[in-house]
Structure 1
Amino acid sequence: MSSPFHIVILGGGTAGWMAANLFAHRLQDEAVQISLVESPDIGIVGVGEGSTPTLKRFFSDLNIPESVWMAECNATYKVSIRFSGWSPGMGPDDYSHPFISQLDTFSERPFHVNCRTRRLGLDVETSPDKFLFNGYLADKQLAPVTPENFPFRIEYGYHFDSAKLGEFLKHRAIKHGVNHVQTQVESATTHQNGDIAELTTKDGQHLAGDFFVDCSGFRALLLQNTLGVKFRAFKENLFNDAAVVLPTGAMKNPPVETRATALSTGWCWQIPLTNRTGNGYVYSQDYLSADSAEEELRRHLGLLDADIPARHLSMRVGQTEQHWSHNCLGLGLSQGFIEPLEATALHLVQIGIETFLDAFLEGGMTNKNQLSYNKAMSERFERVRDYIVAHYKLNTRDDSDYWRDNRNNMTLSEPLLQLLDVWYRKGDLTQEIQRQNLASHFGSTSWHCLLAGYGTFPPVAPNQPGTGDLFEENALEEFFTRCALNFAPHTRHLTGK
């Protein structure tokens, strides 16, 4: 090893610069030099993007106030995801999956109990947004910024321009000592033991390092091409492999939720930013051509005659067999990608960096904990994949082969099969999630949101006792409505007016 220990990050974008900032922050007391190499000629996949609440922790850990970064990245607040048109056969036109906050301590158990009661045939309230406080903020278009006199922590994410966020994080990382090298890397060479030795650039530079982070996108120059780590596709149960993107104007009153609307061969996201609205149609090329997808998206947005250029993106859904191989860590698209439903891409990047830094430092900056890290990250991807697969498996649309084939697909993991079996057998889903140790991925309340939101219940029994609805008995609507009086409109926080 050299002194100082040299970490080389290949590729910028949100993943690369997020890694650079977290590495610089966590390793500031170590004898470490950090360089990020990116080509000024290679663009990034910069679109309107949504996050989970983990991103709030990222900015908090780095002591970056929302007032500093949000305006620069055209960001808005996000408290939930609303799904429209996924399960018309079971009744609900749409449902929401609100982020779970400390305040929901009072309502999660009533929600779980009501879902089980409804599975037994009783006609009780099971709408997720009725039981979770962020559902009320979304309905009233209130920002989740917690007043000083409000004693509960509210969890939320953001919508933002990913290209602008990458730029913001780049300037911060450079300010904190990260060496920015602008050149195009063409290849990498290895030592006899298989470790990466150096990167060779188009202009003849040789960049040596002790540890490398591959953020080179789907081309995965280091992890897959140089080290030969194999990629395992999720194509057998996640069909989507492409997207077409079209921006529209900014909304006058941007909602605090992402919308995911089912279309003929996939779904369309709607992400409200302060300067525009991001829209994209995620679909499968096995069922729909790129031209047809663009036409359908334009029709959905009312833009058939508008002269707005569309961007077409390809996706490779799956994960590498190892996320950390030799002296190289894969992050972002180079390590794997699960389609954008539920906004898990950046979440997995952040978890990947944080978990790696813990393992790397505990192991004395060696490969001591490589095996356990790879197992943990692979499990993360698998379980996130299961939750996304469930959206497609449980759909009740009948307007195309795409939706029917998704519903009839039996290539499901054993953990997912067991969860669905417990639900349909009217068992205790929370207990099953605890038995499988799944709570660190999508917890019990998230699974209840999905299954109840889709209306996966038996017919209501003919004789109703008229009691047993914990939503009514606990007066949850009044409780949450009064709590919401403490919060201000979303637009007021964005504009200051």
Structure 2
Amino acid sequence: MDTQKPKSLVIVGGGSAGWMTAAYLNRLFNRERQNFDITVIESPDIGIIGVGEATVHSVRFFLAAMGLDEEELLRETNGTLKTGIFFRNWMKPRGGKTHEYFHPFEQQRLGRGIDISSAWMVAGRDAVERYDEGVSLSATLIRAGHGPKGPNSPAYQGVVPYGYHIDATMLARFLRRKAVEAGVKHVEATITDVQVKGDNIAAVIAGKQRFEGAFFLDCTGFRGLLIDKLKADNWNSFTDALPCNKAVAIQRELAAGETPKPYTTATALSNGWAWQIDLTGRQGSGYVYDGNRLSSDAAEAELRDFLGPQSQVLKCTHLNMKVGCREEFWVGNCIATGLAGGFIEPLESTGLHLINLAAGLMGTHLLADSPTRASRDSFNRLMRGFYQDLKQFIVLHYCLTDRDDSDFWRAAPATVKEVPWLEAQLEVWRHKVCEFHDLAGSFSTTFSDENYRYILYGMQHYPKLNFCMSDVAVEGLFAGVRNMSKQALAATMPHDAYLQKLRV
């Protein structure tokens, strides 16, 4: 084995997909000895989309596994911390107040004998607080402007789980530098031809340069430059369930005195929703909408009106989104990842998470001396399952709305018809809380029954329960949560203070 020649792995395309995968696989495969020669071919003529600026909390562990310094990462990407997503306006106003709820990353607190979700329901707590306020610590932290970290929190650890807000373009550059320093080859060139032999890619051509490889990774975005050469008619569209197919993204300066919030905001507009993601010094915002109901000009005007006339706009970009995923991500010797593999609209910030999942599977499936059809089938089955699970979770956000102020929102409840399991389960959840066993055996990789509960109860899909608890037991349970929230508040820093500490 010591004399075995390294296999060649050619990654076509940079961006987050190319460089996250290259950095991860290089550390995994080549840390002890050179098992793979990894080359990233990145075109200087083709820019990256660069608007996916929020992550889920599991990306922390991926970055930690690459041996990256967390504080350096945040400094190099203008990064901030994210404890969850704050949703606004996804249902009709109640009592003259805009509908709001928070989806944090943390697990719920445990009850005594009965789970805290059921206790919250039977005690009628919805009359005095949001569900997230009653069962999580993060709701208290964000209300006080605190992030998840204290003055001496170790790298990649906090009082509550967290993800990141990061400049996607700067992240790609940061990872490129780290990967190249660790031995990944970087070639600046534009692919002009893809040579196919049988069911495999024999080489990619860039002008007069020819690159051969044992494996090729397609990180060319929606173009799917490599994977489409091997298999046509290889796309499973999700547009029947998720009709938002366009976005307009605006970068604006943070106003004087405005500090970055430790959460993403998702506000429902007329034909979709707007994200707001605070970095240090600027905010990334955008409107994800149904292009069959709204023109790009009208979408941009609505987003600008939402942001307000005082916004100092730095950049505006219009995007077409190809929502769905490959039937086969791995064909022959080529694996499509990132946008080349699939795309779920960014409502729950899953873009980098899916790259993380694909890279992890490559780390196991490519170890074989000669991966077989069974290996490819396994990889494809798992990746399809990941996307289908995420599709289902995103549909959950839309289908429970009671908004009827536009055709888009009037049609939203019917999207659940495209996800039969979810439609059936929503009826079950009218009579009991969502629990672990409901999703056990699924492909769920980051959104569990606890995450489902935050959306279900944030969207006021409450079960009808007939169970009595003593007032003393109820008060003791929720007083315990309040006490833990006070302790979390005392142990953490204001988010802006933590960010200032990074730059001292």
TM-score (norm: length of structure 1): 0.91
Match of 2:92 in 1: 88
Superposed displacement of residue 325, structure 1: 1.4
- Quote the Cα distance in structure 1 between the aligned partners of 2:405 and 2:377: 45
Superposed displacement of residue 438, structure 1: 5.5
- Quote the Cα distance in structure 2 between the aligned partners of 1:182 and 1:382: 35
- Quote the Cα distance in structure 2 between the aligned partners of 1:468 and 1:375: 50
Superposed displacement of residue 388, structure 1: 0.3
> Is the contact made by 1:196 and 1:328 (CA closer than 8 Å) also made in structure 2?
yes
Q: 1:4 and 2:9 equivalent?
A: no
**What's the CA shift string for 1:16-70, capped at 9, x where partnerless?**
0001101100111343100000110100011261001122112211221222111
The CA RMSD over aligned residues, in Å, is: 2.8
- Quote the Cα distance in structure 2 between the aligned partners of 1:241 and 1:302: 24
Match of 2:422 in 1: 416
Query: Residue 228 and residue 131 in structure 1: after superposition, are their counterparts in 2 closer, same or farther (change >3 A)?
Result: same
- Quote the Cα distance in structure 1 between the aligned partners of 2:68 and 2:167: 17
> Is the contact made by 2:83 and 2:160 (CA closer than 8 Å) also made in structure 1?
no
> Which is worse superposed, 427-436 or 348-357?
427-436
- Quote the Cα distance in structure 1 between the aligned partners of 2:169 and 2:475: 43
- Quote the Cα distance in structure 2 between the aligned partners of 1:269 and 1:300: 11
> Is the contact made by 2:142 and 2:262 (CA closer than 8 Å) also made in structure 1?
yes
Query: Residue 221 and residue 169 in structure 1: after superposition, are their counterparts in 2 closer, same or farther (change >3 A)?
Result: same
> Is the contact made by 2:122 and 2:468 (CA closer than 8 Å) also made in structure 1?
no
Match of 1:343 in 2: 349
> Is the contact made by 2:159 and 2:492 (CA closer than 8 Å) also made in structure 1?
no
Query: Any idea what SS the aligned residue of 2:429 has?
Result: helix
Superposed displacement of residue 88, structure 1: 1.9
Aligned mate of 2:28, from 26, 46, 62: 26
Match of 1:156 in 2: 162
> Is the contact made by 2:10 and 2:217 (CA closer than 8 Å) also made in structure 1?
yes
The runs of 5 or more residues in structure 2 that have no matched partner are none
Query: Any idea what SS the aligned residue of 1:50 has?
Result: coil
Superposed displacement of residue 472, structure 1: 5.3
Match of 1:190 in 2: 196
Superposed displacement of residue 76, structure 1: 0.3
Query: Residue 245 and residue 434 in structure 1: after superposition, are their counterparts in 2 closer, same or farther (change >3 A)?
Result: closer
- Quote the Cα distance in structure 1 between the aligned partners of 2:152 and 2:397: 38
> Which is worse superposed, 41-50 or 363-372?
363-372
Query: Residue 310 and residue 230 in structure 1: after superposition, are their counterparts in 2 closer, same or farther (change >3 A)?
Result: same
Match of 1:326 in 2: 332
Q: 1:310 and 2:316 equivalent?
A: yes
Superposed displacement of residue 162, structure 1: 0.1
For 1:76, the aligned partner's letter is T
Match of 1:484 in 2: 489
Q: 1:117 and 2:119 equivalent?
A: no
Superposed displacement of residue 409, structure 1: 3.4
Match of 1:273 in 2: 279
Aligned mate of 2:445, from 440, 445, 461: 440
For 2:203, the aligned partner's letter is E
Query: Residue 256 and residue 212 in structure 1: after superposition, are their counterparts in 2 closer, same or farther (change >3 A)?
Result: same
Superposed displacement of residue 340, structure 1: 0.5
Query: Residue 357 and residue 308 in structure 1: after superposition, are their counterparts in 2 closer, same or farther (change >3 A)?
Result: closer
Query: Residue 289 and residue 198 in structure 1: after superposition, are their counterparts in 2 closer, same or farther (change >3 A)?
Result: same
Superposed displacement of residue 135, structure 1: 2.1
Superposed displacement of residue 161, structure 1: 0.4
> Is the contact made by 1:90 and 1:455 (CA closer than 8 Å) also made in structure 2?
no
Q: 1:292 and 2:298 equivalent?
A: yes
Q: 1:254 and 2:256 equivalent?
A: no
- Quote the Cα distance in structure 2 between the aligned partners of 1:381 and 1:90: 34
Query: Residue 468 and residue 258 in structure 1: after superposition, are their counterparts in 2 closer, same or farther (change >3 A)?
Result: farther
Query: Any idea what SS the aligned residue of 1:358 has?
Result: helix
Q: 1:456 and 2:456 equivalent?
A: no
Superposed displacement of residue 224, structure 1: 2.1
- Quote the Cα distance in structure 1 between the aligned partners of 2:130 and 2:348: 21
> Which is worse superposed, 162-171 or 250-259?
250-259
Query: Residue 291 and residue 472 in structure 1: after superposition, are their counterparts in 2 closer, same or farther (change >3 A)?
Result: farther
Query: Residue 471 and residue 415 in structure 1: after superposition, are their counterparts in 2 closer, same or farther (change >3 A)?
Result: farther
- Quote the Cα distance in structure 2 between the aligned partners of 1:465 and 1:85: 33
Query: Any idea what SS the aligned residue of 2:417 has?
Result: coil
For 1:322, the aligned partner's letter is E
> Is the contact made by 1:107 and 1:132 (CA closer than 8 Å) also made in structure 2?
no
Query: Residue 79 and residue 491 in structure 1: after superposition, are their counterparts in 2 closer, same or farther (change >3 A)?
Result: same
- Quote the Cα distance in structure 1 between the aligned partners of 2:464 and 2:439: 28
Superposed displacement of residue 404, structure 1: 0.5
For 1:20, the aligned partner's letter is A
Query: Residue 390 and residue 469 in structure 1: after superposition, are their counterparts in 2 closer, same or farther (change >3 A)?
Result: farther
Number of equivalences:
488
The runs of 5 or more residues in structure 1 that have no matched partner are none
Match of 2:44 in 1: 40
* Identity, % of aligned positions: 31
Superposed displacement of residue 469, structure 1: 7.3
Query: Residue 410 and residue 479 in structure 1: after superposition, are their counterparts in 2 closer, same or farther (change >3 A)?
Result: closer
Query: Residue 471 and residue 411 in structure 1: after superposition, are their counterparts in 2 closer, same or farther (change >3 A)?
Result: farther
Aligned mate of 1:216, from 220, 223, 246: 220
> Is the contact made by 1:233 and 1:319 (CA closer than 8 Å) also made in structure 2?
yes
In the TM superposition, what are the counterparts of 1:421-432 in structure 2 within 5 Å?
A: 421-424=427-430, 426-432=431-437
- Quote the Cα distance in structure 1 between the aligned partners of 2:278 and 2:311: 22
Superposed displacement of residue 134, structure 1: 2.0
Q: 1:133 and 2:141 equivalent?
A: no
> Is the contact made by 1:7 and 1:213 (CA closer than 8 Å) also made in structure 2?
yes
Query: Residue 459 and residue 434 in structure 1: after superposition, are their counterparts in 2 closer, same or farther (change >3 A)?
Result: closer
**What's the CA shift string for 1:196-222, capped at 9, x where partnerless?**
110012x22211111000000000011
> Which is worse superposed, 24-33 or 282-291?
24-33
Query: Any idea what SS the aligned residue of 2:68 has?
Result: coil
**What's the CA shift string for 1:417-437, capped at 9, x where partnerless?**
23212112x134215424554
For 1:236, the aligned partner's letter is D
Query: Residue 325 and residue 295 in structure 1: after superposition, are their counterparts in 2 closer, same or farther (change >3 A)?
Result: same
> Which is worse superposed, 434-443 or 350-359?
434-443
Superposed displacement of residue 412, structure 1: 2.6
- Quote the Cα distance in structure 2 between the aligned partners of 1:99 and 1:152: 12
Query: Residue 439 and residue 214 in structure 1: after superposition, are their counterparts in 2 closer, same or farther (change >3 A)?
Result: closer
Query: Residue 152 and residue 331 in structure 1: after superposition, are their counterparts in 2 closer, same or farther (change >3 A)?
Result: closer
